[in-house]
Amino acid sequence: MTSPIDPVQLTADLLRCPSVTPVEGGALVLLEALLTGAGFTCTRVDRGEVCNLFARWGGKTNGRTFGFNGHTDVVPVGDEAAWTQGPFSGVIIDGWLWGRGATDMKSGVAAFAAAAIDFVRDTPPDGSIVLAITGDEEGDAVDGTVALLDWMQANGEVMHACLVGEPTCPNEMGEMMKIGRRGSMTAYFTVKGVQGHAAYPHRANNPLPPMVRLMDRLASHTLDQGTDHFDASTLAVVTVDTGNTATNVIPSESRATVNIRFNDAHTSADLTAWLRDEADKVAAQFGVEIAMQTTVSGESFITPPGPLSDLVATAVQAECGVMPELSTSGGTSDARFVKDHCPVVEFGLVGKTMHQVDERVEVAQIIQLKQIYTRILRDYFA
């Protein structure tokens, strides 16, 4: 009889792969070998400098398909000398597993892979299971999950529901799952004036007053009061720069950046139009030129509470004794791409140490996460 897959050991093995975006580091090679050996059909879907892995158990037309999305790439370790344990050591000390990616999110990938392998071995379902694992979630995310979804569409691959294994619990295991995410966009402003001597301001056109006025108008504006499933949208001024080191010179140019996290009351297009209108008003008032560029990381989305969220919440409550809060808080995740393919929710372990020096996870949580994922699969195919 085949022994169950140990999700803790698998997480430790993945942690020893130095897979800082976009380096694959051996993590996907390890998963591909493991899943192939368990009867999954695996395909590398690499694009650009990014490595991705698609794995399927069961045929394309074999009933329903439950999907999992996750990533094996990690953020840089920072000051390696500041780590108590090596960032790629994967060591267990006093019930904690240490390493970059321990919470975000190699443990989630390991827990689902272990659950899926044991599930199809023990009780082959009337349906299919897909794992779509990327190496580009922590980077630009252009050639990661997007590439996987593009490949799936081109090859007739379908998921009917998807679970993203990001860490979702703030403090206690099981307390929160994500049913949507806020949108995220960044706007870059450049005010062009006329340089001059600070003693003769009438001969110059100082870009700083219009820039400060614009930033105040944007930061003081209330975007909304929140919606049914989202908190109020926020706008943060994250930098204002001139690069001017002289005290007797009025600069010719000033730059500023704002970041907006927005709910489902807005689209990035609507917000871009509002930003442009505000900039034009200030430009006309001060007689300057204001250039603007925007980048959009993702639109706001919501998977309405229903069968998929009920499935995950019921499994979490059964294993943790806690009914998870349905939340849309936090930053962005690759669920923002998956939502265009199929209904998607997110559930994972406690994320307190993610991206920190000394990132680590409680071993017990990894075991519990595998149990939750196993129950989700069992109930989905019941």
Catalytic residue list: 73, 137
Q: 3-class SS at 341?
A: coil
Q: Alpha helices of the chain — where are they, by DSSP H?
A: 7-15, 27-37, 106-122, 145-154, 208-220, 268-286, 307-320, 335-338, 363-380
Question: Given the DSSP bridges, would you call strands 176-178 and 325-327 parallel, antiparallel or unpaired?
Answer: parallel
Query: Could you tell me the two tokens for 100?
Result: 């970059």
CB 216 within 8 A of CB 265: no
CA angle 90, 104, 136 (to 5 degrees): 105
CA–CA separation, 162 vs 129, rounded Å? 10
CA–CA separation, 134 vs 113, rounded Å? 14
CB 374 within 8 A of CB 119: yes
CA–CA separation, 49 vs 16, rounded Å? 21
CA–CA separation, 313 vs 317, rounded Å? 6
CB 223 within 8 A of CB 235: yes
